[in-house]
Chain A
Amino acid sequence: MRADPITDPRLRIIALLALAFSFSALHGSIALALMVATTMCLVWLSGTPARQLLRALRLPGVVIAGLVVVLPFTSGETVITALGPLALRAEGLAAATGIALRFLAIFTLIVVFVGALPLSHLIGALRGLGLPALLVDMALLTLRHIEDLRHDLARMQTAMRLRGGHGWLGRFRSTGWILASLLLRSHARSERVYHAMILRGHGASGAALPDAPPVPRADKWALVVLIALAASLLAVDHLA
């Protein structure tokens, strides 16, 4: 039976960080192969659908592809083959392969460990891990404003297009002005929301924070295993 390796969001974040930093330090072919195997195991255990992974990968994949395509032709001295005026070099190819594999593995970890968590749960978990209260409040309020802001922005951009009549240079000024109007309007709303929260007792001194749920024993063991795995990969890469 397949199940998430860890259910507690706080421990998920710790495991994710441990594995991600470990993965980012791997360079040898054996360690990279073990990294790919570990990632595939975690995907299988969590039951993350391949379609979800591929959909999440669309935008960041384009960014990394640019670098991975350029490196084999610009980096290194050992020429493997020449493709017209371009020379494919071994060192660059190895570096590009390493970058692509590390990127894919870390990206997959993010999707597996926190991809399915609602952002509000993620922020709650970070608070449980000791994130300063001001950052937690800022993150929660930001979450509250993102959708409103996107909606207002789309409406104002449509209105600007319908008005038309701007030259190329005038476009910058009118974009600046609609953004300034948007910021003023959003600022007023943001103040109202925050003051309403304070009136309802948010952040009052003496207000008790909700008790953090206890961490399941199985999660603790899973975390130990994953941290040991992260350390083992580093050791393998160092010794190989």
Chain B
Amino acid sequence: MHIPDGILPLGLTLGGWAVAAGLTALSLNRIAAQPDPREGLPRASMMTAAFFAASLIHIPVPPSSVHLMLPGLMGAMLGWYAMPAILIGLAFQAVMFGHGGLTTLGVNAVILGLPALVAFGLTRGLGHMTQRAAAAILGFATGAGAVLLAVALFAATLLAGLPAHLDAGAERAAITALALAHLPLALAEGMVVAAILGFLRRTNPEMIGAR
């Protein structure tokens, strides 16, 4: 779910780069304020590699299969490191696979980075939650909600950038089709992220509810 080059007008692509640069600068600023800013670097790099490889993980959702996006998991596990990690992962995907784009790198980073930062805010206390069911629900909401927010941002950006003479009926149909097409992915990712966070909460709670 990355927007390729050539679709969006210059204003949107430059705006995307500006917002992504702002969010990354804010994240780096918050990381620099931590007692040891480099402490989270190994985890962030490992998660960036996982984000990069996420497109290789296919989960059967009849009649087809979907691949994971992981913005919610990135936010829950990386905190302020999530935005730089997503930016790097997307840049690698664009250069190595042509997945996404160069002029749209900023827009794509915002589409996945904002949900990750929202997930970070939601899951700050997850590592210390004692109720297993509540933690599972929060984990599911984090995974599924982040995907749905990313889909909403993706659809809004795409429709804002498409030719102005696209009629309103077609716009509504496109938004509905896009949301419905991603609903199975949101549910699948919600369940997988809930299982991952549940596992980590039991074995290594310090790995979630990041700083």
Q: A residues near B, CB below 8 A?
A: 16-17, 20-21, 23-25, 56-57, 59-60, 63-64, 67, 71, 74-77, 91-92, 95, 98-107, 109-110, 114-115, 119, 122, 132, 134-135, 137-139, 141-146, 148-150, 153, 157, 168-169, 171-177, 179-184, 186-187, 189-191, 193-194, 203
B96 near A119: Cβ-Cβ < 8 Å: yes
Q: Which of A95, A98, A139, A142 has the most B CB atoms < 10 Å from its CB?
A: A142
Q: Is the CB of A177 within 8 A of B199?
A: yes
Q: Are A138 and B165 in contact (CB under 8 A)?
A: no
* A21 with B103: CB separation less than 8 A: yes
User: Which of the residues A24, A74, A138 comes within 8 Å of B84, measured between beta carbons?
Assistant: A138
Complex Cα–Cα for A135 and B44 (A): 10
Q: Which single residue of chain A is at the shortest CB-CB distance from B166?
A: A75
> Contact between A149 and B46 (Cβ–Cβ < 8 Å)?
yes
Provided the pairs A75-B165, A145-B45, A184-B204 are in contact, do residues A177 and B170 lie with their beta carbons within 8 angstroms?
Answer: no
Does B162 have its Cβ within 8 Å of any Cβ on chain A?
Answer: yes
Shortest Cβ-Cβ A-B pairs, 6 listed: A176-B195, A102-B6, A103-B6, A141-B45, A180-B199, A60-B98
Chain B residues engaging chain A, CB cutoff 8 angstroms: 2, 4-10, 13-14, 24, 28, 31, 37-38, 41-50, 52-53, 56-57, 59-60, 62, 77, 81, 84-85, 87-89, 91-92, 94-99, 101-103, 162-163, 165-167, 170, 188, 191-196, 198-200, 203-204, 207
CB-based contact B48/A138 at 8 Å: yes
- Closest Cβ–Cβ distance, residue B204 to chain A (whole Å): 6
State the Cβ distance, B73 to closest chain A Cβ, in Å: 9
Of the candidates A109, A110, A135, A179, the one having the most CB atoms from chain B within 10 angstroms of its own CB is A179
**CB < 8 Å: which of A114, A134, A172, A179 contacts B31?**
A134
